[in-house]
Amino acid sequence: MIAQVVFDLPLEGPFDYLIPSSLKSSIAPGLRVNVLLGTKKRTGLVTGLLEQSSFENLKSIKSVIDEKPLLDQAQMDLGSDLSRYYGCSLGEALFTILRGSSVIESSVIARSEATKQSNKIATLPAVARNDNNDKLTLHVVPSGDYVPILVSVMKPLVQRKQRVLILGPDQFAVQAIQEALKKYFSKNDYFIGARSMVFRSLMGIALVMMVDEDNPSYKQEQTPLYETRQVLLMRAKRENIDVVFISATPSVEIMDLVHKGKIHLKNYPARGLVKPQAVDLNNYKILLKGLLSPAVLSALERNVSGGTKSILVFNHRGSYAVTRCSECGFVLKCGRCDSPMLYWRAKKQYFCRHCSFHCEPDIVCPHCQVPSWKSFGLGIEPLQKALQEKFPTSRILTFERRSPQILKDYDILVGTSALLRFKYQIQAALVVLLDIDEELNRLDIRSCFRAFSLAGHLRGMAQGQFLIQTRHPNHYVIKSFSEDDADIFYREDMRIRRELALCPFGHQVMIHLRSLQQKLGQQAAQELYQALNSLSSPNVSMKIHAPVAEAVAKKRDQYRLNILVQGEDVIDMIAFIKKAMRQTKRRSKVIVVLNVDP
């Protein structure tokens, strides 16, 4: 007998291994095994069994790690889908699913017990399925108060002893949802977790609910670079499961499926929400610290005098964006990344936004050997200082991604978008979005949606007034809030994407190449680009862009280049790119990663 085995490596498989007679009764798909790959001992996953192999001199399986399969057939099939869509190896896909399945089931015994309990409560045959649009449902909740929706959808299922799987964008959201559901359900009524929970076995699960569907944290940042929403749609199609998406600002991809009639829409009125007000910065010649308009300062003064809280959101971390030597003009940069160091005034440190590198302020200039630095630009800490001078008796605090926990004892809180982690817990009479224009002016098709989503979620935190500062009051993102009509945003954003053939009307695959050696990376990128062009033909409806360095060309000591491929069908594009990769010389010192619809 022959076992087909894959590995958590960027290697196309599976690989054939002999099954010793002593292990024949122990081998089955979904089990982990110890084998030799080349000369190294590796842990692999069995994907299938064969009577014979077309290869000779096969190595034998050394040992079997698990007593029972860790993945069911649906998960094994999902691995194949994941590999074809995101361009990773089958092994990388299956081990990603395996790690996701282990979030709550840390051992084979725990998994076995959980499956037994699930089978006692419900089996899928017990769940009524249908082929109409109610299989996939989108709940649009502008207020961001998702708890009533969760409770109303879950209650009838729990009463029928059926379990629900809930996905949250991050651990902060997961903890908040758990705390809210304590009043209504026991922990045995549902499973809950962050994005990797999308891979767990759905045996005994009647429904999957995805909270804050539009949150960027649902995008995986390591191979495979999957989008949780897309994986869930894959599973819904293959496994016939019911899915509920919940969001205050649904993604354009989900709204497109609504428009096509593939997802049933349930809208909730924006009761109790304040109407956003755009502050046109073109009306003011002078801004405090170049940022705060008289309209915002006036609103802050009213809140301070009235004893109510205010939140200012400025998406710039740390203190200053650029630090130069005052003697020779040398710009202080990270030693590992091609990026200027930021100054963090609270900790009196320079730090890199891309890696963990940091240094003390008395560091000498590597160019002229003089410890004389001057920082420029604006971040949340200088803004706090300016506000403290304006309101000397007020408690003015800052919050950003590195802050350990939310602070509640304040009059004015200046923070980055990281504040949204705690949107369920904090509210203020006044919320101001200071720098929406930075997102609006980016050359990135998703930037306008990020601005729309950020403003939409912040709106739910405002109890009295929500101000958006902008120099583009007629931009469709701003108009959608000024006129309180989200359709203005979706119609225009979809029109632009359709014209440019971008997701969901077309697709992009970004080929990321990384290497510690700049010339080696450039050579590999050029060879792959030539291979892609050699395979291209008039019958291949794909556009291939020449290699370019990333905006930050060096991160964590690695030089980075990108090749962009545009086309209509993701699976065809991935197959095309992989064929080109097989025709180029494989370099162990160059890492290649595929990113679908970045």
Nearest to 61 by CA among 123, 4, 116: 4
C-beta neighbour count of 525 within 10 angstroms: 26
Domain annotation covers residue 324: no
Report which DSSP code applies to 225.
-
**Cα gap 368→187, rounded to integer Å:** 62
What percent of the chain shows pLDDT beyond 90? Answer: 72
233 and 173 in a single domain? The answer is yes
3-state SS, residue 233? helix
- Structure-block tokens of residue 101: 């399945």
Integer CA distances (angstroms), 570 to 85, 236, 261, 592, 596, in order? 6, 18, 22, 18, 8
Q: In which residue are the tokens 């040992």 written?
A: 63
Domain annotation covers residue 201: yes
How many domains does the structure of the chain reveal? 4
3-state SS, residue 48? strand
512 and 578 in a single domain? The answer is yes
CATH of the domain at 524: 3.30.70.600
124 and 235 in a single domain? The answer is yes
CATH of the domain at 445: 3.40.50.10810
**Cα gap 42→16, rounded to integer Å:** 14
Continuous segment of H or E residues that includes residue 513: strand 507-515
3-state SS, residue 255? helix
To the nearest 10°, report the CA torsion of 114, 89, 83, 53. -90
Are 66 and 32 within 8 A, CB to CB? yes
φ, ψ of residue 495 in degrees (nearest 5): -60, -45
Mark residue 373 as left, alpha or beta (left: phi above 0; alpha: psi -120 to 50; beta: remaining).
Answer: beta
**Cα gap 243→207, rounded to integer Å:** 6
253 and 292 in a single domain? The answer is no
Are 248 and 457 within 8 A, CB to CB? yes
Task: Indicate the residue type of 243.
Answer: V
320: β partners: 343
415 and 292 in a single domain? The answer is yes
69 and 200 in a single domain? The answer is no
Sign of the dihedral defined by the CA atoms of residues 142, 140, 266, 128, in that order: negative
Domain annotation covers residue 352: no
**Cα gap 5→140, rounded to integer Å:** 44
**Angle of CA points 158, 161, 167, to nearest 5°:** 50
281 and 424 in a single domain? The answer is yes
Residue that finishes a domain, picked among 242, 267, 292: 267
> Going by C-beta distance under 8 Å and a sequence separation of 6 or more, which residues neighbour residue 334?
340, 341, 352, 354, 355, 357
Domain annotation covers residue 351: no
Are 92 and 10 within 8 A, CB to CB? yes
C-beta neighbour count of 555 within 10 angstroms: 18
3-state SS, residue 524? helix
Over the stretch 158-216, which tens digit does the pLDDT of each residue have? Answer: 999 999 999 999 999 999 999 999 999 998 999 999 999 999 999 999 999 999 999 99
Work out whether strand 2-7 and strand 40-50 pair parallel, antiparallel, or are unpaired: antiparallel
Written in H, E and C, the secondary structure of 372-405 is CEEEECCCHHHHHHHHHHHCCCCCEEEECCCCCC
**Cα gap 563→586, rounded to integer Å:** 17
Q: Tell me the DSSP string of 292-322.
A: B-HHHHHHHHHHHHHT--EEEE----SSBSE
CA 63 to chain centre: 37
210 and 79 in a single domain? The answer is no
**Cα gap 274→315, rounded to integer Å:** 22
Over the stretch 461-505, which tens digit does the pLDDT of each residue have? Answer: 999 999 999 999 999 999 999 999 999 999 999 999 999 999 999
143 and 10 in a single domain? The answer is no
**Cα gap 218→246, rounded to integer Å:** 13
Q: What stretches in the chain show pLDDT beneath 50?
A: 103-123, 125-133
393 and 281 in a single domain? The answer is yes
Task: Indicate the residue type of 374.
Answer: K
Are 258 and 138 within 8 A, CB to CB? yes
Could you tell me the residue range of the domain that residue 475 belongs to? Answer: 277-316+379-500
pTM: 0.90
Domain annotation covers residue 243: yes
Residue that finishes a domain, picked among 438, 469, 500: 500
Domain annotation covers residue 251: yes
Domain annotation covers residue 333: no
**Burial (CB count <10 Å: 0-12, 13-18, 19+), residue 271:** exposed
Q: Which residues of 350-376 are buried (b: 16+ CB within 10 A; e: fewer)?
A: bbbeeeebeeeeeeebeeeeeeebebe
The pLDDT score that the predictor gives to residue 539 is 67
Domain annotation covers residue 323: no
**Cα gap 423→215, rounded to integer Å:** 13
The pLDDT score that the predictor gives to residue 442 is 86
308 and 452 in a single domain? The answer is yes
CATH of the domain at 193: 3.40.50.300
Nearest to 18 by CA among 43, 52, 42, 41: 52
**Cα gap 363→528, rounded to integer Å:** 42
3-state SS, residue 60? strand
Integer CA distances (angstroms), 5 to 26, 52, 516, 557, in order? 15, 14, 31, 34
566 and 423 in a single domain? The answer is no
Sign of the dihedral defined by the CA atoms of residues 536, 541, 546, 551, in that order: negative
- Structure-block tokens of residue 135: 């299989």
Residue that finishes a domain, picked among 477, 500, 523: 500
Q: Tell me the DSSP string of 121-166.
A: H--GGGS---SSGGGEEEEE-TT---HHHHHHHHHHHHHTT-EEEE
Rg (CA), the chain: 27
CATH of the domain at 46: 3.40.1440.60
The pLDDT score that the predictor gives to residue 104 is 37
